[in-house]
Amino acid sequence: MRPLLPEYGYTLRLFDVRPVEGAPDAVTADLAGPVAPREAVRGVDAVLHRAASP
């Protein structure tokens, strides 16, 4: 999914507990924290949660 969305004009903001290879602008933080998730979704129109996906 990640490589396809930009082809349709979507801008991605990735969020992971580990650095995301090939995504230097990705947010690296823990979702359990009170501030990082809120800041990561500020100004976005949609969230795709793929944490449990292989």
The SS3 call for residue 39 is helix
State the average pLDDT for the chain: 87
Question: Cα–Cα distance between 11 and 29 in angstroms, integer?
Answer: 20
pLDDT at 53 over 90: no
pLDDT confidence tier of residue 54, bands split at 50, 70 and 90: low
The predicted structure's pLDDT at residue 8: 94
Residue range 33-39: mean pLDDT, rounded: 87
Domain parsing of the chain, residue ranges = 1-54
**Helices and strands in the chain, H and E counts:** 1, 2
The SS3 call for residue 6 is helix
Among 37, 32, 33, 34, residue whose Cα is nearest residue 13 = 37
